[in-house]
Amino acid sequence: MRLPELETPRLVLEAGRMEANVARLKARLAALGVRLRPHVKTCKSFEVARLLMEAPTGPITVSTLKEAEQFLEHGVTDILYAVGIAPGKLDHVRALRDRGADLAIVVDSVEAAQAVAARGEGIPALIEIDCDGHRAGVKPGDAILADIAKALARGAQPRGVMTHAGGSYDCRSTGAIAALAERERAAVVESAAVLRAAGFDSPVVSVGSTPTATFAANLEGVTEVRAGVFVFHDLVMAGLGVCAVDDIALSVLATVIGHQREKGWIVTDAGWMAMSRDRGTGRQAVDQGYGLVCDEAGRVIGDLVVSDANQEHGIVSRRDAGPLDVSRYPVGTRLRILPNHACATGAQHDAYHVVRGGPEVLARWPRFGGW
Amino acid sequence: MRLPELETPRLVLEAGRMEANVARLKARLAALGVRLRPHVKTCKSFEVARLLMEAPTGPITVSTLKEAEQFLEHGVTDILYAVGIAPGKLDHVRALRDRGADLAIVVDSVEAAQAVAARGEGIPALIEIDCDGHRAGVKPGDAILADIAKALARGAQPRGVMTHAGGSYDCRSTGAIAALAERERAAVVESAAVLRAAGFDSPVVSVGSTPTATFAANLEGVTEVRAGVFVFHDLVMAGLGVCAVDDIALSVLATVIGHQREKGWIVTDAGWMAMSRDRGTGRQAVDQGYGLVCDEAGRVIGDLVVSDANQEHGIVSRRDAGPLDVSRYPVGTRLRILPNHACATGAQHDAYHVVRGGPEVLARWPRFGGW
């Protein structure tokens, strides 16, 4: 099978770019002396994840128990479910642990810790720290950390602390990302110290976001980094300066289905269902619409973006909405669209079509979704 | 199975609301004397679609050939694929027609018409009309219509005209929607007249969008209406005045996993992966964030919305970001979130969990995605 034979829209994965992205982050983290616990919420594919993991058993980070389940079926056992646990999921957690997963969970309150401990199953749990005010977690170094650990110790297993510097997606410079990386590190190191002072080992001190992993200068006291988007990268990462546009390994293959000549519009069959509704670059200096347009070989065409989208229609035009000779892109022309957000775009598809700098589709790697 | 036993997030469908929505639009269109060719891109479920169709064989509208394929497997044969055809899909179209589908396609240029006709398979094709400047299609009544029909007639089968008043999603009043509905009607009626004057029957004169179908006062000359969202409705439709909030049949069941008390935030396990990234109400008078929050029984709580979302985290807060006593929603509390856009939110899930005004899950109806 070759790209020109694929019915569109389809998700294309450039293996060489992915491998370079993975090697780059692994080298960084090795130099900083920390383990990578890759977040497989981005790829949701065993074929991709095995390029990221240290060993066939992991470690990995997941965002859903479905991911834990799917990877356990492939022999991955060292798993962190990095979303605060809902008590109603604890039966599922137990079932996965009974099947051999060393599945750890996350809490950020005494009430959640009590719900986990009440089961008396010794479930390992990390306490989530809020390093940048963007989501869940307790304040770094807060005295409540010891209360949560005590509550956990009554029937679960306090294993340490974790945080996610999601605010790094809104940084305005790589210097700001580096500063946030240090804040992220300090937040968990300080919190682990509170736990240790209260008599709780904190063997896991976990941080992670692709931007902070890329620009952290020092990860002293941190035991592992969770990152996911780095495997593919995307336009949001390029806009942050975390990668180059030419590092982006994921694209959506599309076909031109028509034009609005006077408007300078090329209409394609890759709408928001294929690209996702993610408009992450809308907040950045360069707004890439629903995606940046490449030719079928993956070369960026210039300033063509998917400026608007319906469910199954993409409107391609110049970023500045200026005139465009659409006759250069006749009906049937194949394009590839780089996505704003690899996690969101990937989730709209059921498989990766793997290429290596040419038109041959070397493999079709399935991916899953759901919960 | 009961709602309190479902692991979250899950998609919930209120059967009674859906049935009322369907009955209301069917009664409207019957009074106006036109057929409904429901757009199954919203539901992507045979169990839902059979409530919409006139007969087990259809008719239906699809947005992908995957939909055509799935519904054909359930015996539906009268199918319009309402996205401009990409020449690379014509083998797939032929395969579906060979298997018994009366599958019609759409073109909006001489070049696309030539590609279809060149196959000599008599494929029926509608010509797309651009009634409101929002997407694809030729201008209403444009002389090129006859050229496209002539090109089609050389090996395909010109069957008429279709348009989609997608601009209705941006109307500011129901009066404006009614005016657009008349413009939509006039666009296809005028275009069909051009074809007839050139000697081409135009047996199909097709319009469709849920807003215009709801407010059209007159559909004279129109043979069928395509609409999809009406089956479930959503917050965008409610914001347009097309439905009431209590008509919305789709919601996402979520669980509270934590809080940020000082901020008045409730954190849930329904992030943008469960809700989709669709922020359609962001352009409306009332911005519903990523969704409007109900209790587990489906009653709107008041002014609580999903004000922000990460992949698997939803941040629930007051719409005005005012103070909120989050202790009323302890960890483990179950909520239901009404979506901005039924098509987008539905697409994030693999099944509907059907309820009827109570906690019992009466059925699990699978839905599909992809192309």
Residues A270 and B277: their CA atoms lie apart, in Å, by 16
Residue of chain B minimizing CA distance to A348: B370
Kindly state the tokens that stand for B40.
């199954």
Q: Are A138 and A249 in contact (CB under 8 A)?
A: no
Class of domain B16-231: alpha beta
Identify which of A86, A347, A350 has the shortest CB distance to residue B332: A86
Interchain CB distance below 8 Å, A115 and B311: no
Contact B331 A64 (CB under 8 A): no
Q: Which chain B residues touch A41 with a CB distance below 8 Å? A: 311-312
Residue among B97, B93, B80 at smallest CA distance from B36:
B80
Give the closest residue to A268 by CA, choosing from A259, A279, A280, A255. Answer: A255
Query: Is the Cβ pair A86, B315 closer than 8 Å?
Result: no
**DSSP character for B19?**
H
Least Cα separation, residue A371 to chain B (angstroms): 7
Residue type, B132: D
Residue B302 backbone phi and psi in degrees, to 5? 145, -105
Query: Which chain B residues contact residue A87 at CB under 8 A?
Result: 255, 331-332
Number of H helices, E strands in chain B: 11, 17
- Torsion from C-alpha of A114, A119, A124, A127, nearest 10 degrees: -20
B338-355 residue pLDDT tens: 999 999 999 999 999 999
Residues 6 or more apart from B226 whose CB is under 8 A from it? B37, B38, B39, B61, B80, B82, B162, B164, B206, B207, B208, B209
Record: contact B130-A312, CB cut-off 8 A: no
Q: Do B331 and A371 touch (CB under 8 A)?
A: no
pLDDT at A302: 85
- The rounded percent of chain B whose pLDDT value lies above 90 is 100
Q: Angle at the Cα of B111 (from A290 to A338), degrees rounded to 5?
A: 20
CB contact under 8 A, B332 and A88: yes
How far is the alpha carbon of B292 from chain A, nearest alpha carbon, in Å? 18
Distance from CA of A273 to the nearest CA of B (A): 8
Give the three-class secondary structure for A308: strand
Q: pLDDT tens across B188-233, in order?
A: 999 999 999 999 999 999 999 999 999 999 999 999 999 999 999 9
Contact by Cβ (8 Å): B184, B166:
no
Kindly give, in sequence order, each residue whose CB lies less than 8 Å from that of residue B266, ignoring residues fewer than 6 positions away: B256, B259, B304, B315, B316, B317, B324, B326, B329
The pLDDT score that the predictor gives to residue B302 is 85
Chain mean pLDDT for chain A: 97
Chain A residues near residue B313 by CB distance under 8 angstroms: 83-84, 135-136
Test B277 with A278 for CB contact under 8 angstroms. Answer: yes
Share of chain B above pLDDT 70, in %: 100
Query: For the residues of B76-128, what is the DSSP string, one character each?
Result: --EEEE-S---GGGHHHHHHHHHTT-EEEEEE-SHHHHHHHHTT-S--EEEEE
Q: Checking DSSP bridges between strand A204-207 and strand A224-225, what pairing results, if any?
A: parallel
Best B11, B62, B257 member to test A by mutation, with max A CBs in 10 Å, is B257
Cβ distance B272 to A344 less than 8 Å, yes or no, reads: yes
Helix (H, G, I), strand (E, B) or coil at A365: strand
Name which of A84, A273, A310 is nearest B135 (Cβ-Cβ): A310
Which of B185, B332, B324, B174 lies closest to B254, judged by CA? B332
Write out pLDDT tens, residues B80-124. Answer: 999 999 999 999 999 999 999 999 999 999 999 999 999 999 999
**Nearest-Cα residue of chain A relative to residue B3:** A88
Residue B106, pLDDT score: 98
Q: Do A347 and B278 touch (CB under 8 A)?
A: no
Instruction: Kindly report the number of other CB atoms within 10 A of residue A321's CB atom.
Output: 11
> What pLDDT sits at residue B332?
98
Tokens (6 digits) for B215: 């407010």
- Torsion angles phi and psi, residue A145, rounded to 5: -55, -45
Using CB atoms, which residue from A63, A267, A370 is nearest to B84?
A267
Nearest CA in chain A to B90: A7
Q: How many CB atoms lie within 10 A of CB A102?
A: 14
Helix (H) / strand (E) containing B354? strand B351-355
Q: Which two tokens stand for residue A234?
A: 């995307």
What count of CB pairs under 8 Å joins A to B? 157
Q: Tell me which residue has tokens 């990668």.
A: A243
Per the structure block, which two tokens stand in for B24?
A: 């209301």
CA atoms in the 13 A half-sphere facing the CB of B101: 29
- Give me the residue from B89, B111, B267 closest to A136, CB to CB: B267
CA distance A147 to A258: 63
Spatial contact of B291 and B303, defined as CB atoms under 8 Å apart: no
CB-neighbour burial class of residue B174 (10 A; exposed 0-12, middle 13-18, buried 19+): middle
* pLDDT exceeds cutoff 90 at B181: yes
Q: Count CA atoms within 13 Å of residue A228 on its CB side.
A: 21
Residues of A in contact with B8 (CB under 8 A): 86, 88-89, 371
pLDDT digits (tens, 9 = 90+) for B42-75: 999 999 999 999 999 999 999 999 999 999 999 9
Q: What is the CATH number of domain A15-231?
A: 3.20.20.10
Judge if B3-10+243-366 and B16-231 fold alike in CATH terms: no
B3-10+243-366: which CATH topology? Lyase, Ornithine Decarboxylase; Chain A, domain 1 (2.40.37)
What residues of B are in contact with residue A7 (Cβ under 8 Å)? 65, 88-89, 92, 371
Low-confidence ranges of chain A (pLDDT < 70): none
Beta bridge partners, B352, equal: B365
Q: Is residue B287 predicted with pLDDT exceeding 90?
A: yes
Cβ–Cβ of B331/A10 closer than 8 Å?
A: no
Strands B157-163 and B124-129, bridge-based pairing: parallel
pLDDT (tens digit per residue) in B122-172: 999 999 999 999 999 999 999 999 999 999 999 999 999 999 999 999 999
B370 and A347 within 8 Å at the Cβ level: the answer is no
Task: Tell me the C-alpha distance between B76 and B68, whole Å.
Answer: 8
ipTM of predicted assembly, 2 dp: 0.98
A255: nearest CA partner in chain B = B86
**Taking chain A, what is the end-to-end CA distance rounded to the nearest angstrom?**
32
Contact yes or no for B92 and A256 at CB 8 A: no
Q: In whole angstroms, what is the distance from residue A10 CA to residue B1 CA? A: 37
Residues in chain A closer than 8 A to B115 (CB atoms): 331-332
Identify all chain A residues contacting B85, using CB atoms and an 8 Å cutoff. 257
Of the candidates A88, A111, A276, which has its C-beta nearest B330's C-beta?
A111
Domain range summary for chain B, segments of one domain joined by +: 3-10+243-366, 16-231
Q: Give dist(CA B91, CA B2) in Å, integer.
A: 45
Question: Alpha-carbon distance B266 to A32, whole Å?
Answer: 36
Point out the residue among B86, B267, B347 whose CB comes nearest to the CB of A255: B86
How far apart are the C-alpha atoms of A330 and B118, rounded to whole Å? 16
Cβ–Cβ gap A112/B331 under 8 Å:
yes
pLDDT, mean of residues B253-273: 98
- State how far the Cα of B147 lies from the Cα of A21, in Å rounded to an integer: 51
N residues, chain B: 371
